[in-house]
Amino acid sequence: MVVLSFDSAPTAQSSDPYEWQTLSDSPFFLDRPEALGGSWSLLQDANNVRSHSSSKVAYYFPKGVGDYHFGERHPMKPARLTITNRLVLGYGLHKDMDVFTPRMASREELEWFHDEDYVEFLSSVTPSTPLSAAFTRFNFADDCPVFDGMYDFCRSYAGASLAAAKKLCSGTADIAINWSGGLHHAKKSEASGFCYVNDIVLAIMELLRYHPRVLYIDIDIHHGDGVQEAFYNSNRVLTVSFHKYGNDFFPCTGALSEVGTGLGKHFCLNVPLQDGIDDGAYVSLFKSIIEPCITTFRPESIVLQCGADSLGLDRLGCFNLSIAAHGECVRFVKSFGLPLLVLGGGGYTVRNVARCWSYETAVLTGRCIPDKLPSTEYDAFFGPNRRLHEPLQAGRVENQNPRVALEKIRIEVLDQLRYMHGAPSVQMHELPPDLSGAWLEEDNLTKPEG
């Protein structure tokens, strides 16, 4: 039995403003100042450093997607998407990507997965609609309120994920990013957990038209239940979710015993974790599971949901992950060189969500960006220091994940892989023509003033 080596020792504090205090001293971080040696001084102000082997990256930002409002006290804030986009532009990362404004998904496309009655309700309900049995039937309540523009909001983020999937299928991009997507809780005929339309399922369905096997990875703190449920009987999609489980934590699913049924048995893997997991344990466990998943299942594309509520200090979270550790999971998945769709998800401390997804955009483009955040109209959100890697340890949660428990989880999860007997073969029939026509409208984004 191989026992993982976890490094949970705290990092030394320093007065150096460029020392990334959130970085673990575990060997999986290749961007630590110590590892960079003399090159660190060059990277302090690096703004246009590109890797020698860069991937072609497509970036999707639906017009106006950050302008919607769930309600004053609701934790989901679409404005986080606008702030993320401003940081991406401020760092100049758009220069290393093809940037697109996709059209909204059509009703027909939403009904690829969602029931017609549900989509009809979603498209017609307004904040002034009188309460009826349909609100209960479709689970519209406090978590999933009706708000102005809700249907267009759903069509916007779903359209972006579909466009990104189509871009990968066309072979004209290696990586496609849609931070507005990743709403993994929505069910076939039910809203759930701030999610109304499951853009992930729609995107995977599009990928499956061209790719025999798709790997779905979820690093949101909440279990990816909607995606798991959609493909629970399929051996063409391997779902792997790393999440908090137990003590009635939403959505109360994602146990080790949930492994799929029928053809999909053993093609559903869950990694249930407890409060307070830290950088070393999480990243080591992630790598030790994801690599054998890829080599055994042999996917032709990967969908990675990057919910930022697994970061330390998240308003609804209880993990201790740094932005660097979260981003290391993204870098590791990218390193396999497979077509990769990267999506957002949860994340309820807005300033840290924007930091995280901006950093991960840099990871995906192969850019090394400075710790000092670029100046934008949202500077007030980031306090006086305006750092990318602000320490997230002020509200550190006690780590309730002992090594023995994590090793047991790793063994049980990987034990499911031996039942796969290699990747399933799929008879690929003649592909249907595109249903949509022109999906992409290139948007000439420029760095905003200020």
Q: Binding site: what residues are annotated? A: 143, 193, 220, 222, 309, 348
Active site residue 185: yes
Which ranges of 222-339 would DSSP assign to H, the alpha helix? Answer: 225-230, 279-297, 323-334
- φ/ψ of 344, rounded to 5, equals -80, -135
Q: How far apart are CA 391 and CA 187, in angstroms?
A: 36
Question: By the 8 A CB rule, do 289 and 240 touch?
Answer: yes
Annotated binding site for a divalent metal cation: 220, 222, 309
| Residues contributing to the annotated binding site for substrate | 143, 193, 348
Measure the CA–CA gap between 66 and 357, rounded to whole angstroms. Answer: 15
Query: What is the DSSP annotation of 133-197?
Result: HHHHHTT-SSSS---TTHHHHHHHHHHHHHHHHHHHHHTS-SEEEETT---TT-BTTB-BTTBSS
Please say whether the beta carbons of 223 and 255 come within 8 A. Answer: no
Strand, coil or helix: what is 59? strand
- Radius of gyration of the CA atoms of the chain, in A: 21
Q: Which residue among 185, 211, 223, 326 is the active-site one?
A: 185
Distance of alpha carbon 143 from the chain centroid = 20
Catalytic residues, by residue number, are: 185
